[in-house]
Amino acid sequence: MLTVLNGLSFGFILFLLASGLSLIMGAMGVLNLAHGALYMVGAYVGWSVAVDQDASFLLAVAAGAAAAGLVGLVMERGLFARLHDRLDEQILAAFGCLYILTDLVSLIWGPQAKAPIDVPALDGSVTIAGFSYPLVRVVIIGVGIAFAIGLWWLQERTRAGAIVRAGMDDSSMVRAIGINVELVVALLFVVGAAVAGAAGVIGGLVLGASTSFGIDVLLLALIVVVLGGVGSVGGALAGALMVGVVDTVSRTELPEVSSFTLYALMTVVLLLRPTGLSGKAA
């Protein structure tokens, strides 16, 4: 049971990361390969604020989100907005950002990984149905559920969400009713970057920070997006929880095959649902 709970908390961290990746990909039509690097930037900035500065964890989350959001803003304005409709160049630019950010982080914080952030208020454990769980994991799951509900509401129940969905369906028609799609996409990119940064800090409670995150979490987030279907909040949630639980359980129970269980999962899901769990075509 503890393993499943650990898997769920990891899954919700992945959801924070992958929901942004999925929505940005749906709206821009391009995969932001630097999305994992934004998570990494958040993780390190948050670690500095919480551990080096000994500031409150909420402040660390805000700082991580702000830092990643700012990097996202520079990337969007400096690169992607100028490479409009040039998908190959956008992918290469994102890949370049991934390497640059990884090197910058390594220069600033050194190559050694950072230990998980210890927040005294989140030490201890809670007992649910006779099992004892670490409080920090339960809090991560709670934050993930709250974020999922909030994001679902934003995407399915607000005018902004309707514009994002319509833009994925047919962006030229959205322009033709007077909406500035470029501005909407830019905002989505920056907000998605900030959420990735916040995810890095929250994930830092159990994962710490590492320069390998830029690629490692990107790969996991990609699997989530492939499983869930592009541009779907519900699909990203289902995919993230699946990946979190399957990866964590297989690492604990079947370590000798854990390196390919995720790919086996992906193969099975795609055989059954070629367009992903949400059923939307990529």
User: What are the residues binding another protein (CB under 8 A)?
Assistant: 159, 162-163, 165-166, 168-170, 172-181
d(CA 199, CA 205): 10
Cβ 89 to another protein shortest distance, Å: 20
Which pair of structure tokens corresponds to residue 65? Answer: 């989100």
CB of 108 to another protein, least distance (A): 40
Looking at the Cβ atoms of 121 and 183, the one nearer to another protein is: 183
CA distance 160 to 52: 38
Nearest of 150, 144, 137 to residue 241 by alpha carbon: 144
Which bin fits 232, alpha (ψ -120 to 50), beta or left (φ > 0)? beta
Q: Rounded to whole angstroms, what are the CA distances from 212 to 36, 107, 184, 240, 264?
A: 10, 14, 31, 20, 23
Minimum gap (Å) between residue 158 Cβ and another protein: 10
Closer to another protein by Cβ: residue 179 or 206: 179
Q: Closest CB to another protein among 6 and 278?
A: 278
Whole-number minimum distance, CB 173 to another protein, in Å? 4
Q: Which is nearer to another protein, 74 or 173 (CB)?
A: 173
